[in-house]
Amino acid sequence: MITSSTDTQSNGLAIARSLAGAVPRSFWLDQPDAPDPLPALAGGVTADLAVIGGGFSGLWTALLARERYPELDVVLVEAKTVGWAASGRNGGFCSASLTHGIGNGLERFGDEMPLLEKLGEQNLREIGETIARLGIDCDFRPVGEIGFATADWQLDGLDEAAVASRQLGREVTVLDAEGARAELNSPRWRGALKHTTGNALIEPGRLAWGLRRACLDAGVRIYEHTPVTALSRSDGTSKLGVTLKTPYGSVRAGRVALAAGVPGGSLLRRISAYVIPVWDYVLMTEPLSAAQIESLGWRDGRGASDLGNQFHYFRPTRDNRVLWGGYDAVYYNGGRIRAEHETRPATFTALARHFFDTFPQLEGVSFTHAWGGVIDTCSRFCAFFGTAHAGQVAYAAGYTGLGVGATRFAAQVLLDKLYQPGDPERERLSLVNSKPLPFPPEPLRSGVIQATRASIARADRNGGRRDAWLRLLDRLGLGFDS
Ligand SMILES: Cc1cc2nc3c(=O)[nH]c(=O)nc-3n(C[C@H](O)[C@H](O)[C@H](O)COP(=O)(O)OP(=O)(O)OC[C@H]3O[C@@H](n4cnc5c(N)ncnc54)[C@H](O)[C@@H]3O)c2cc1C
């Protein structure tokens, strides 16, 4: 198609207008009923278990600790407010997958996959049951998920992926272009892979706040605006052998669960080699009209993505908005996490352009929120675990963009490592006991990552063909993803 420069300019202006009123905050956290912050820690306290980090990993760890070991006295310290980081900024896809998808899992954990899928399904089911039992109003909807092919090369692997998924117990259907458009109306679809099991949609901010409430009700003491500035082993013989320093106090604890994402590396250096901060960006539309909703024909409100290497994810909300995120996975050289990276107009503009290309029937719709967040990315794309300080500290990190559900599984693993194994099958998993390959140190790290990003974008432009660099990384089992 040939567009005149006037068309391009007016299109560019329309996109700028769609974004101009968007506030730079996560829609999920920008709610009138957001809870008031809890007081920061002042002075010294003790606890049997101290949890660092009030994202999903830390919240589930604290809550499950109280459920598994009611005698434990548990403290949770959060640098800002509960859920403010990745846990309150994500797409709200709560997947059963513990391995960042079946394809990645089969490549890395082969024979373990039937067990990993079984444990993942059980984890998702128990998340749903917990939300219902605790009455958390986070719109948990176990609707499955659907991946749309937008180019012919993406159709190639659909049948194979469907067979592999079915062998692992998933309910999957391969759809042609017409079938795909009957699920969600876009002229861009060439086909789709529809999973009716294995994923739920949730509202992440409300889930974090609900878990916070549940922790408080269970007797967990939570301190917000309390960054841990140092973690040290105070005394090998004491029952309270680990000390956490905070700006105006300290926690002496018997055991520590470090659930702080990438920043956890500043407290335990060994984590830093394995995780990098990759920024992911998201738009949220205004509520759509009844006619606009009808024009989408979004069957079952299923969470969706497209199937490029640089993929978008998208989902409806209960107040008839559409969340649209992904595509650019940005690594800022040096890997520092800065507040200014939370907005990125160039990425928001690209995302909005892709949105209107995908859903031309929504022309004129505006975005009310545009935000970014840090994804703790590791080279195997799924969480890894470890212990430090003679087993008194356990950590989990590296969910790489699929941690909403997996954080609860990780919380169980942290408690297994700190106390007794809760499940012999879980304890033996190589997912639980192995580490990803480390990233090289800076400045080589930045060079390697930017080269990989460029190759991934090139592969999407070249019919999915992976260049020599990506093929080498594939052979080494190394990757870069959001
Ligand atoms: C834009 C975006 C979209 C995503 N979409 C999805 C999705 O749809 N589905 C999915 O499964 N996953 C998604 N993810 C990933 C998912 O959100 C994360 O895997 C998950 O929330 C990780 O939870 P966490 O608790 O480990 O980390 P976080 O939510 O990052 O929480 C870590 C917490 O630790 C605190 N902390 C750090 N350092 C300290 C310290 N020194 N002292 C005290 N506290 C500290 C931080 O303040 C933070 O609150 C997305 C992520 C992003 C950013």
Please identify, by atom number, the ligand 1 atom nearest to the C-alpha of residue 87. Answer: 21
Burial environment of residue 285 by CB neighbours within 10 A (0 to 12, 13 to 18, 19 or more): buried
DSSP annotation of 17? H
Please identify, by atom number, the ligand 1 atom nearest to the C-alpha of residue 91. Answer: 8
Q: Whose CA is nearest to atom 20 of ligand 1?
A: 403
- CA distances (Å), 87 to each of 9, 139, 347, 448, in order? 37, 16, 21, 28
Cβ < 6 A, ligand 1 pocket: 52-58, 77-80, 84-87, 89-93, 95, 227-228, 259-261, 263, 267, 280, 282, 325, 373-375, 399, 401-405, 407
Between the CA of 207 and the centroid of ligand 1 the distance, in Å, is 13
Residue pointed to by tokens 């559900």: 405
Between the CA of 247 and the centroid of ligand 1 the distance, in Å, is 22
User: pLDDT tens, position by position, for the chain (482 residues)?
Assistant: 444 455 566 689 999 999 999 999 999 999 999 999 999 999 999 999 999 999 999 999 999 999 999 999 999 999 999 999 999 999 999 999 999 999 999 999 999 999 999 999 999 999 999 999 999 999 999 999 999 999 999 999 899 999 999 999 999 999 999 999 999 999 999 999 999 999 999 999 999 999 999 999 999 999 999 999 999 997 666 788 999 999 999 999 999 999 999 999 999 999 999 999 999 999 999 999 999 999 999 999 999 999 988 999 999 999 999 999 999 899 999 999 999 999 999 999 999 999 999 999 999 999 999 999 999 999 999 999 999 999 999 999 999 999 999 999 999 999 999 998 889 999 999 999 999 999 999 999 888 888 888 888 888 888 888 888 888 888 777 766 65
Tell me the three state secondary structure of residue 129: helix
Between the CA of 180 and the centroid of ligand 1 the distance, in Å, is 32
Peptide bond into 438 cis (omega under 30): no
Closest CA to 469 of 324, 480, 461: 480
Burial environment of residue 27 by CB neighbours within 10 A (0 to 12, 13 to 18, 19 or more): buried
Closest CA to 253 of 264, 266, 267, 239: 239
Which tokens is 335 given? 């890997």
Between the CA of 152 and the centroid of ligand 1 the distance, in Å, is 34
Please identify, by atom number, the ligand 1 atom nearest to the C-alpha of residue 260. Answer: 34
pTM of the shown model: 0.95
Q: Read out DSSP for 448-471? A: HHHHHHHHHHHHHHTTT---HHHH
Query: For a substitution probing ligand 1, which of 38, 76, 80, 90 has the most ligand atoms within 8 Å of its CB?
Result: 90
Residue type, 401: G
DSSP annotation of 343? -
